[in-house]
Amino acid sequence: MRVANISEGYGGDFVEAVRSKIEPVPDRHTGVMVIGIDPLIYRSADNTIQSPNVRPPFVARINFDREQMARSLPFPVVLWLEKEAHALLLREAPDLSQWISARFDFGVRTSAVNPHLFNSLLQADRVLRRTDRSLPDERDIIEELQKLRSARSDSQVGRRIVLLVVLAQKYLLSSNRASFRRTMAELDALSKQIEEKEDKCMISLMLGSLEQLARAPKQAGKYFKLALDAARDSGSDKLEVRCLTSLGLHHAQTGDSRAAIRCLRDAVKQLEKYPSNDNKSDKLLRTALDGLGEAYYSIHKTKQSLPYFERALLLATQANDLREEAKISTRIADILFATKNLKKAAVYFERSRGLERRLGNRQKEMICLAKAGTAYVAVGEFRHGISLLEDSLQLSQQLGEEDIRAPLLSALLGAHIGIGETKTAIAIADQLDAAAEVLTNPKRREFQNVARQFRVQLRDKETMPGQLNNERRTASQRGGVAQAFKL
Protein backbone atom coordinates (compact mmCIF):
# COMPACT_ATOMS: atom_id res chain seq x y z
CA MET A 1 0.00 0.00 0.00
CA ARG A 2 1.39 3.40 -0.99
CA VAL A 3 1.45 6.54 1.15
CA ALA A 4 0.56 10.04 -0.10
CA ASN A 5 1.35 13.02 2.14
CA ILE A 6 -0.72 15.83 0.62
CA SER A 7 0.04 18.53 3.22
CA GLU A 8 3.18 19.60 1.32
CA GLY A 9 2.52 21.81 -1.68
CA TYR A 10 -1.24 21.35 -1.66
CA GLY A 11 -2.68 23.39 -4.54
CA GLY A 12 -6.40 23.19 -3.82
CA ASP A 13 -7.29 20.00 -5.75
CA PHE A 14 -7.49 16.90 -3.52
CA VAL A 15 -7.54 14.39 -6.39
CA GLU A 16 -4.59 16.01 -8.17
CA ALA A 17 -2.67 16.21 -4.88
CA VAL A 18 -3.10 12.46 -4.25
CA ARG A 19 -2.25 11.45 -7.83
CA SER A 20 0.88 13.63 -7.88
CA LYS A 21 2.22 11.81 -4.81
CA ILE A 22 1.73 8.27 -6.10
CA GLU A 23 3.03 8.33 -9.68
CA PRO A 24 2.72 5.95 -11.41
CA VAL A 25 -0.97 5.59 -10.48
CA PRO A 26 -1.56 2.15 -8.86
CA ASP A 27 -4.07 -0.38 -10.12
CA ARG A 28 -7.42 -1.01 -8.43
CA HIS A 29 -5.97 -3.75 -6.24
CA THR A 30 -3.41 -1.46 -4.62
CA GLY A 31 -4.56 0.86 -1.86
CA VAL A 32 -3.29 4.34 -1.00
CA MET A 33 -3.02 5.79 2.50
CA VAL A 34 -3.50 9.57 2.48
CA ILE A 35 -1.87 11.47 5.35
CA GLY A 36 -1.39 15.18 6.06
CA ILE A 37 -5.12 15.99 5.79
CA ASP A 38 -5.47 17.28 9.38
CA PRO A 39 -3.55 20.57 8.92
CA LEU A 40 -5.52 21.26 5.72
CA ILE A 41 -8.79 20.79 7.58
CA TYR A 42 -7.69 22.96 10.50
CA ARG A 43 -6.23 25.63 8.19
CA SER A 44 -9.42 25.55 6.17
CA ALA A 45 -11.40 26.18 9.34
CA ASP A 46 -9.06 29.10 10.11
CA ASN A 47 -10.08 30.84 6.89
CA THR A 48 -13.74 30.97 7.91
CA ILE A 49 -12.94 33.68 10.45
CA GLN A 50 -13.87 36.26 7.80
CA SER A 51 -17.31 34.66 7.29
CA PRO A 52 -18.29 32.58 10.32
CA ASN A 53 -21.32 31.00 8.62
CA VAL A 54 -19.43 29.81 5.53
CA ARG A 55 -18.28 26.18 5.28
CA PRO A 56 -14.46 25.74 5.44
CA PRO A 57 -13.11 25.78 1.83
CA PHE A 58 -11.03 22.55 1.91
CA VAL A 59 -13.88 20.62 3.47
CA ALA A 60 -16.43 22.14 1.06
CA ARG A 61 -14.24 21.27 -1.94
CA ILE A 62 -13.62 17.68 -0.91
CA ASN A 63 -17.34 17.22 -0.21
CA PHE A 64 -18.28 18.61 -3.64
CA ASP A 65 -15.64 16.56 -5.52
CA ARG A 66 -16.63 13.18 -4.04
CA GLU A 67 -17.86 11.79 -7.39
CA GLN A 68 -14.71 12.90 -9.17
CA MET A 69 -12.70 11.18 -6.42
CA ALA A 70 -14.51 7.91 -7.14
CA ARG A 71 -13.78 8.20 -10.88
CA SER A 72 -10.20 9.48 -10.69
CA LEU A 73 -9.01 7.36 -7.74
CA PRO A 74 -10.34 3.88 -8.70
CA PHE A 75 -8.60 2.05 -5.85
CA PRO A 76 -8.99 1.80 -2.07
CA VAL A 77 -8.24 5.15 -0.39
CA VAL A 78 -7.57 5.23 3.36
CA LEU A 79 -7.74 8.68 5.02
CA TRP A 80 -5.74 8.96 8.24
CA LEU A 81 -7.27 11.61 10.48
CA GLU A 82 -6.98 12.80 14.05
CA LYS A 83 -10.17 12.47 16.04
CA GLU A 84 -11.00 16.18 16.04
CA ALA A 85 -10.30 16.54 12.32
CA HIS A 86 -12.53 13.54 11.64
CA ALA A 87 -15.33 15.08 13.72
CA LEU A 88 -15.05 18.35 11.79
CA LEU A 89 -15.11 16.46 8.46
CA LEU A 90 -18.25 14.53 9.51
CA ARG A 91 -20.00 17.73 10.48
CA GLU A 92 -18.99 19.91 7.52
CA ALA A 93 -18.92 17.27 4.72
CA PRO A 94 -22.02 15.09 5.38
CA ASP A 95 -22.33 13.88 1.76
CA LEU A 96 -18.75 12.64 1.67
CA SER A 97 -19.26 10.99 5.07
CA GLN A 98 -21.99 8.79 3.60
CA TRP A 99 -19.56 7.50 0.96
CA ILE A 100 -17.04 6.27 3.53
CA SER A 101 -17.34 2.49 3.68
CA ALA A 102 -15.65 1.89 7.03
CA ARG A 103 -14.21 3.78 10.01
CA PHE A 104 -11.62 2.63 12.51
CA ASP A 105 -10.83 4.39 15.79
CA PHE A 106 -7.43 3.36 17.17
CA GLY A 107 -7.87 5.49 20.29
CA VAL A 108 -4.43 7.08 19.88
CA ARG A 109 -3.73 10.78 20.28
CA THR A 110 -0.78 12.15 18.39
CA SER A 111 0.22 14.49 21.22
CA ALA A 112 -0.73 15.52 24.73
CA VAL A 113 -2.33 18.63 23.27
CA ASN A 114 -5.82 18.52 21.82
CA PRO A 115 -5.01 19.14 18.14
CA HIS A 116 -8.13 21.04 17.20
CA LEU A 117 -8.21 23.20 20.31
CA PHE A 118 -4.53 24.03 19.95
CA ASN A 119 -5.10 24.86 16.26
CA SER A 120 -7.98 27.11 17.23
CA LEU A 121 -5.73 28.90 19.70
CA LEU A 122 -3.07 29.34 17.03
CA GLN A 123 -5.75 30.71 14.72
CA ALA A 124 -6.94 33.19 17.35
CA ASP A 125 -3.33 34.19 17.92
CA ARG A 126 -2.88 34.91 14.19
CA VAL A 127 -6.06 36.98 14.16
CA LEU A 128 -4.81 38.93 17.17
CA ARG A 129 -1.55 39.75 15.40
CA ARG A 130 -3.17 40.72 12.12
CA THR A 131 -2.64 44.37 11.19
CA ASP A 132 -5.31 44.87 8.52
CA ARG A 133 -8.13 44.71 11.13
CA SER A 134 -10.51 43.33 8.46
CA LEU A 135 -12.75 41.60 11.00
CA PRO A 136 -16.18 40.04 10.39
CA ASP A 137 -19.44 41.73 11.30
CA GLU A 138 -20.18 41.86 15.02
CA ARG A 139 -23.73 40.50 14.54
CA ASP A 140 -22.42 37.40 12.72
CA ILE A 141 -19.97 36.69 15.55
CA ILE A 142 -22.61 37.10 18.27
CA GLU A 143 -25.05 34.92 16.32
CA GLU A 144 -22.55 32.06 16.12
CA LEU A 145 -21.52 32.53 19.75
CA GLN A 146 -25.15 32.10 20.78
CA LYS A 147 -25.17 28.70 19.05
CA LEU A 148 -22.00 27.72 20.92
CA ARG A 149 -23.06 28.86 24.42
CA SER A 150 -23.68 25.33 25.65
CA ALA A 151 -20.79 23.84 23.65
CA ARG A 152 -18.69 21.26 25.43
CA SER A 153 -16.59 19.58 22.70
CA ASP A 154 -13.01 20.75 22.30
CA SER A 155 -13.58 21.89 18.70
CA GLN A 156 -16.55 24.03 19.75
CA VAL A 157 -14.69 25.50 22.74
CA GLY A 158 -11.81 26.34 20.40
CA ARG A 159 -14.16 28.02 17.96
CA ARG A 160 -15.71 30.01 20.80
CA ILE A 161 -12.29 31.28 21.85
CA VAL A 162 -11.49 32.40 18.29
CA LEU A 163 -14.76 34.33 18.00
CA LEU A 164 -14.37 35.92 21.44
CA VAL A 165 -10.84 37.11 20.58
CA VAL A 166 -12.17 38.72 17.40
CA LEU A 167 -15.09 40.25 19.30
CA ALA A 168 -12.75 41.66 21.97
CA GLN A 169 -10.68 43.34 19.23
CA LYS A 170 -13.78 44.85 17.65
CA TYR A 171 -14.87 46.29 21.00
CA LEU A 172 -11.40 47.75 21.54
CA LEU A 173 -11.36 49.36 18.10
CA SER A 174 -14.78 50.91 18.73
CA SER A 175 -13.75 52.01 22.29
CA ASN A 176 -16.58 49.95 23.80
CA ARG A 177 -14.78 49.28 27.09
CA ALA A 178 -17.73 47.76 28.93
CA SER A 179 -18.37 45.14 26.23
CA PHE A 180 -14.63 44.49 25.97
CA ARG A 181 -14.48 43.74 29.71
CA ARG A 182 -17.45 41.35 29.50
CA THR A 183 -15.80 39.51 26.60
CA MET A 184 -12.51 39.29 28.49
CA ALA A 185 -14.33 37.88 31.52
CA GLU A 186 -15.84 35.18 29.31
CA LEU A 187 -12.42 34.36 27.82
CA ASP A 188 -10.92 34.23 31.31
CA ALA A 189 -13.64 31.79 32.42
CA LEU A 190 -12.95 29.58 29.37
CA SER A 191 -9.22 29.63 30.09
CA LYS A 192 -9.89 28.17 33.54
CA GLN A 193 -11.73 25.23 31.99
CA ILE A 194 -8.70 24.24 29.90
CA GLU A 195 -6.50 21.59 31.48
CA GLU A 196 -3.73 21.02 28.93
CA LYS A 197 -0.78 23.23 29.86
CA GLU A 198 0.16 24.17 26.29
CA ASP A 199 -3.41 25.23 25.55
CA LYS A 200 -3.55 27.19 28.81
CA CYS A 201 -0.29 28.88 27.89
CA MET A 202 -1.60 29.95 24.47
CA ILE A 203 -4.84 31.44 25.75
CA SER A 204 -3.01 33.25 28.58
CA LEU A 205 -0.64 34.79 26.04
CA MET A 206 -3.59 36.01 23.99
CA LEU A 207 -5.34 37.45 27.03
CA GLY A 208 -2.12 39.27 27.93
CA SER A 209 -1.84 40.69 24.41
CA LEU A 210 -5.46 41.87 24.49
CA GLU A 211 -4.86 43.59 27.83
CA GLN A 212 -1.79 45.24 26.36
CA LEU A 213 -3.90 46.58 23.50
CA ALA A 214 -6.38 47.83 26.10
CA ARG A 215 -3.52 49.62 27.92
CA ALA A 216 -4.07 47.60 31.08
CA PRO A 217 -0.45 46.74 32.06
CA LYS A 218 -1.25 45.15 35.42
CA GLN A 219 -3.69 42.64 33.92
CA ALA A 220 -1.39 42.02 30.94
CA GLY A 221 1.53 41.21 33.24
CA LYS A 222 -0.63 38.80 35.22
CA TYR A 223 -1.56 36.82 32.09
CA PHE A 224 1.99 36.78 30.70
CA LYS A 225 3.25 35.33 34.00
CA LEU A 226 0.49 32.69 33.95
CA ALA A 227 1.49 31.83 30.39
CA LEU A 228 5.15 31.43 31.38
CA ASP A 229 4.24 29.15 34.30
CA ALA A 230 2.03 27.01 32.03
CA ALA A 231 4.76 26.81 29.36
CA ARG A 232 7.31 25.62 31.93
CA ASP A 233 4.87 23.05 33.30
CA SER A 234 4.22 21.78 29.76
CA GLY A 235 7.92 21.24 29.09
CA SER A 236 7.67 23.07 25.73
CA ASP A 237 10.90 25.02 25.23
CA LYS A 238 9.49 26.94 22.27
CA LEU A 239 6.46 28.12 24.20
CA GLU A 240 8.65 29.07 27.16
CA VAL A 241 10.86 31.18 24.90
CA ARG A 242 7.86 32.94 23.43
CA CYS A 243 6.47 33.65 26.91
CA LEU A 244 9.83 34.96 28.11
CA THR A 245 9.96 37.30 25.12
CA SER A 246 6.38 38.54 25.64
CA LEU A 247 6.96 39.07 29.36
CA GLY A 248 10.29 40.81 28.71
CA LEU A 249 8.74 43.20 26.19
CA HIS A 250 5.92 43.86 28.66
CA HIS A 251 8.44 44.76 31.38
CA ALA A 252 10.22 47.07 28.93
CA GLN A 253 6.96 48.85 28.06
CA THR A 254 6.09 49.33 31.72
CA GLY A 255 9.51 50.79 32.52
CA ASP A 256 10.98 47.81 34.40
CA SER A 257 14.07 47.63 32.19
CA ARG A 258 16.10 45.35 34.44
CA ALA A 259 13.34 42.72 34.61
CA ALA A 260 13.01 43.05 30.83
CA ILE A 261 16.73 42.40 30.39
CA ARG A 262 16.58 39.27 32.57
CA CYS A 263 13.66 37.77 30.62
CA LEU A 264 14.95 38.70 27.18
CA ARG A 265 18.50 37.47 27.87
CA ASP A 266 17.08 34.10 28.93
CA ALA A 267 14.98 34.03 25.76
CA VAL A 268 17.96 34.89 23.54
CA LYS A 269 20.11 32.23 25.25
CA GLN A 270 17.51 29.55 24.46
CA LEU A 271 16.75 30.80 20.95
CA GLU A 272 20.42 30.68 19.99
CA LYS A 273 20.26 26.89 20.36
CA TYR A 274 17.78 26.54 17.49
CA PRO A 275 18.92 26.09 13.86
CA SER A 276 19.56 29.38 12.06
CA ASN A 277 17.18 28.43 9.22
CA ASP A 278 14.18 28.14 11.56
CA ASN A 279 12.16 31.16 10.39
CA LYS A 280 9.85 31.34 13.41
CA SER A 281 12.74 31.08 15.87
CA ASP A 282 14.77 33.65 13.93
CA LYS A 283 11.86 36.10 13.99
CA LEU A 284 11.40 35.60 17.73
CA LEU A 285 15.16 35.98 18.29
CA ARG A 286 15.08 39.22 16.30
CA THR A 287 12.21 40.51 18.46
CA ALA A 288 14.05 39.58 21.67
CA LEU A 289 17.31 41.20 20.50
CA ASP A 290 15.48 44.37 19.49
CA GLY A 291 13.77 44.43 22.91
CA LEU A 292 17.12 43.97 24.66
CA GLY A 293 18.56 46.88 22.72
CA GLU A 294 15.67 49.11 23.80
CA ALA A 295 15.91 47.95 27.44
CA TYR A 296 19.64 48.71 27.69
CA TYR A 297 19.22 52.06 25.95
CA SER A 298 16.43 53.04 28.37
CA ILE A 299 18.88 52.74 31.28
CA HIS A 300 21.49 54.77 29.36
CA LYS A 301 23.71 51.81 28.45
CA THR A 302 24.13 52.74 24.81
CA LYS A 303 27.29 50.69 24.25
CA GLN A 304 25.51 47.53 25.41
CA SER A 305 22.36 48.31 23.43
CA LEU A 306 23.84 48.82 19.95
CA PRO A 307 25.24 45.28 19.44
CA TYR A 308 21.76 43.83 20.11
CA PHE A 309 20.18 46.20 17.59
CA GLU A 310 22.87 45.34 15.04
CA ARG A 311 22.28 41.59 15.49
CA ALA A 312 18.53 42.14 15.06
CA LEU A 313 19.24 44.15 11.92
CA LEU A 314 21.39 41.35 10.49
CA LEU A 315 18.59 38.82 11.07
CA ALA A 316 16.05 41.11 9.40
CA THR A 317 18.40 41.50 6.41
CA GLN A 318 18.92 37.74 6.14
CA ALA A 319 15.14 37.19 6.27
CA ASN A 320 14.66 39.85 3.56
CA ASP A 321 12.18 41.60 5.85
CA LEU A 322 12.55 45.11 4.43
CA ARG A 323 10.02 46.73 6.76
CA GLU A 324 11.72 45.41 9.90
CA GLU A 325 15.17 46.15 8.49
CA ALA A 326 14.17 49.77 7.83
CA LYS A 327 12.69 50.17 11.31
CA ILE A 328 15.76 48.79 13.12
CA SER A 329 18.21 50.68 10.88
CA THR A 330 16.41 53.97 11.63
CA ARG A 331 16.41 53.21 15.36
CA ILE A 332 20.17 52.60 15.32
CA ALA A 333 20.67 55.84 13.39
CA ASP A 334 18.56 57.83 15.87
CA ILE A 335 20.56 56.46 18.82
CA LEU A 336 23.88 57.19 17.11
CA PHE A 337 22.77 60.75 16.34
CA ALA A 338 21.60 61.31 19.91
CA THR A 339 24.99 60.13 21.19
CA LYS A 340 26.87 62.42 18.75
CA ASN A 341 28.19 59.62 16.54
CA LEU A 342 27.01 61.65 13.57
CA LYS A 343 29.00 60.14 10.68
CA LYS A 344 27.88 56.61 11.48
CA ALA A 345 24.32 57.85 12.07
CA ALA A 346 24.29 59.40 8.59
CA VAL A 347 25.28 56.06 7.01
CA TYR A 348 22.41 54.26 8.76
CA PHE A 349 19.94 57.01 7.81
CA GLU A 350 20.94 56.61 4.16
CA ARG A 351 20.47 52.87 4.43
CA SER A 352 17.00 53.42 5.90
CA ARG A 353 16.19 55.89 3.13
CA GLY A 354 16.94 53.24 0.48
CA LEU A 355 14.79 50.66 2.26
CA GLU A 356 11.84 53.03 2.71
CA ARG A 357 12.08 53.92 -0.97
CA ARG A 358 11.85 50.25 -1.95
CA LEU A 359 8.86 49.86 0.37
CA GLY A 360 7.15 52.88 -1.20
CA ASN A 361 7.03 54.80 2.11
CA ARG A 362 7.75 58.21 0.63
CA GLN A 363 7.09 60.16 3.81
CA LYS A 364 9.55 58.03 5.79
CA GLU A 365 12.01 58.31 2.90
CA MET A 366 11.71 62.10 3.12
CA ILE A 367 12.43 62.06 6.86
CA CYS A 368 15.44 59.75 6.48
CA LEU A 369 16.85 62.04 3.77
CA ALA A 370 16.40 65.02 6.08
CA LYS A 371 18.09 63.31 9.01
CA ALA A 372 20.97 61.98 6.90
CA GLY A 373 21.52 65.42 5.33
CA THR A 374 21.52 67.09 8.75
CA ALA A 375 24.04 64.58 10.09
CA TYR A 376 26.42 65.08 7.13
CA VAL A 377 26.22 68.88 7.46
CA ALA A 378 26.92 68.62 11.20
CA VAL A 379 30.21 66.75 10.52
CA GLY A 380 31.26 69.19 7.81
CA GLU A 381 30.39 67.12 4.71
CA PHE A 382 28.36 70.01 3.34
CA ARG A 383 28.01 69.08 -0.33
CA HIS A 384 26.64 65.62 0.32
CA GLY A 385 24.44 66.93 3.12
CA ILE A 386 23.04 69.69 0.88
CA SER A 387 22.24 67.17 -1.86
CA LEU A 388 20.26 64.98 0.57
CA LEU A 389 18.46 67.96 2.14
CA GLU A 390 17.46 69.26 -1.31
CA ASP A 391 16.10 65.80 -2.23
CA SER A 392 14.09 65.81 0.99
CA LEU A 393 12.80 69.32 0.27
CA GLN A 394 11.71 68.29 -3.23
CA LEU A 395 9.95 65.22 -1.86
CA SER A 396 8.19 67.34 0.78
CA GLN A 397 6.80 69.56 -2.00
CA GLN A 398 5.54 66.53 -3.93
CA LEU A 399 3.85 65.17 -0.80
CA GLY A 400 2.43 68.54 0.25
CA GLU A 401 4.26 68.39 3.59
CA GLU A 402 4.40 72.13 4.32
CA ASP A 403 5.33 71.75 8.00
CA ILE A 404 8.71 70.23 7.18
CA ARG A 405 9.82 72.93 4.73
CA ALA A 406 10.99 75.37 7.44
CA PRO A 407 13.20 72.81 9.27
CA LEU A 408 14.72 71.70 5.96
CA LEU A 409 15.40 75.27 4.80
CA SER A 410 16.93 76.06 8.19
CA ALA A 411 19.33 73.12 7.80
CA LEU A 412 20.14 74.16 4.21
CA LEU A 413 20.82 77.72 5.38
CA GLY A 414 23.39 76.44 7.88
CA ALA A 415 25.01 74.24 5.21
CA HIS A 416 25.42 77.07 2.68
CA ILE A 417 26.79 79.34 5.41
CA GLY A 418 29.31 76.60 6.18
CA ILE A 419 30.73 76.61 2.64
CA GLY A 420 30.57 80.40 2.27
CA GLU A 421 27.82 80.51 -0.39
CA THR A 422 26.36 83.80 0.87
CA LYS A 423 24.12 84.58 -2.12
CA THR A 424 22.45 81.18 -1.94
CA ALA A 425 22.13 81.54 1.84
CA ILE A 426 20.34 84.91 1.41
CA ALA A 427 17.81 83.35 -0.99
CA ILE A 428 17.22 80.46 1.39
CA ALA A 429 16.71 82.87 4.33
CA ASP A 430 13.91 84.56 2.32
CA GLN A 431 12.32 81.15 1.63
CA LEU A 432 12.66 80.30 5.32
CA ASP A 433 10.67 83.38 6.32
CA ALA A 434 7.87 82.42 3.94
CA ALA A 435 7.87 78.76 5.03
CA ALA A 436 7.72 79.75 8.72
CA GLU A 437 4.47 81.66 8.13
CA VAL A 438 2.45 78.40 7.87
CA LEU A 439 3.65 77.34 11.35
CA THR A 440 2.25 78.32 14.72
CA ASN A 441 4.25 79.89 17.55
CA PRO A 442 6.72 79.15 19.05
CA LYS A 443 7.97 77.27 15.95
CA ARG A 444 7.22 80.17 13.59
CA ARG A 445 9.15 82.65 15.74
CA GLU A 446 12.01 80.18 16.16
CA PHE A 447 12.63 79.73 12.42
CA GLN A 448 12.15 83.43 11.68
CA ASN A 449 14.82 84.15 14.30
CA VAL A 450 17.23 81.83 12.45
CA ALA A 451 16.79 83.89 9.26
CA ARG A 452 16.95 87.18 11.19
CA GLN A 453 20.20 86.27 13.00
CA PHE A 454 21.80 85.33 9.69
CA ARG A 455 20.91 88.73 8.20
CA VAL A 456 22.23 90.56 11.30
CA GLN A 457 25.56 88.76 10.99
CA LEU A 458 25.63 89.44 7.28
CA ARG A 459 25.29 93.20 7.84
CA ASP A 460 28.09 93.23 10.40
CA LYS A 461 31.19 93.28 8.19
CA GLU A 462 33.50 92.48 11.10
CA THR A 463 31.95 89.09 11.68
CA MET A 464 32.52 87.90 8.11
CA PRO A 465 33.68 85.45 7.10
CA GLY A 466 35.02 84.02 10.32
CA GLN A 467 31.94 84.30 12.52
CA LEU A 468 29.63 82.93 9.83
CA ASN A 469 31.89 79.95 9.27
CA ASN A 470 31.97 79.28 13.01
CA GLU A 471 28.19 79.01 12.85
CA ARG A 472 28.30 76.16 10.31
CA ARG A 473 27.81 73.33 12.83
CA THR A 474 25.08 74.95 14.90
CA ALA A 475 23.02 76.82 12.28
CA SER A 476 21.91 73.56 10.65
CA GLN A 477 20.57 72.26 13.95
CA ARG A 478 19.35 75.38 15.80
CA GLY A 479 15.61 75.23 15.11
CA GLY A 480 16.39 72.82 12.28
CA VAL A 481 15.75 69.21 11.33
CA ALA A 482 17.44 67.75 14.39
CA GLN A 483 14.96 69.51 16.67
CA ALA A 484 11.96 69.15 14.41
CA PHE A 485 12.31 65.37 14.40
CA LYS A 486 13.27 65.17 18.06
CA LEU A 487 16.61 63.50 17.35
Q: pLDDT, tens digit, for every residue of 13-32?
A: 888 888 887 776 666 666 78
Domain end call among 70, 99, 128: 99
48 and 144 belong to one structural domain: no
Q: What is the pLDDT of residue 35?
A: 80
pLDDT beyond 70 at 408: yes
Q: Give me the number of domains the chain comprises.
A: 3
pLDDT beyond 90 at 57: no
The answer as to whether 222 is a domain residue is yes
Which range, of 50-54, 119-123, 209-213, averages the lowest pLDDT?
Answer: 50-54
The answer as to whether 281 is a domain residue is no
76 and 155 belong to one structural domain: no
63 and 118 belong to one structural domain: no
Domain end call among 235, 256, 285: 235
Average pLDDT in the 260-279 region?
A: 85
Average pLDDT in the 97-104 region?
A: 73
Mean pLDDT over each residue of the chain, to the nearest integer: 80
Angle between helices 257-271 and 237-253 (to 10 degrees): 150
The answer as to whether 301 is a domain residue is no
pLDDT beyond 50 at 201: yes
Range of the domain at 452: 365-487
69 and 142 belong to one structural domain: no
Q: What is the pLDDT of residue 403?
A: 87
The answer as to whether 245 is a domain residue is no
In the structure, what pLDDT confidence band is assigned to residue 398 with cuts at 50, 70 and 90?
Answer: very high
217 and 124 belong to one structural domain: yes
87 and 122 belong to one structural domain: no
Domain end call among 99, 124, 157: 99
Q: What is the pLDDT of residue 81?
A: 79
Q: What is the pLDDT of residue 43?
A: 60
119 and 221 belong to one structural domain: yes
Tell me how far apart the alpha carbons of residues 353 and 355 are, in angstroms, rounded to a whole number.
5
Percent of the chain surpassing pLDDT 90: 39
pTM (two decimals): 0.68
In the structure, what pLDDT confidence band is assigned to residue 474 with cuts at 50, 70 and 90?
Answer: very low
383 and 480 belong to one structural domain: yes
pLDDT in tens, 60-74: 777 787 788 878 887
pLDDT in tens, 174-187: 888 999 999 999 88
24 and 56 belong to one structural domain: yes
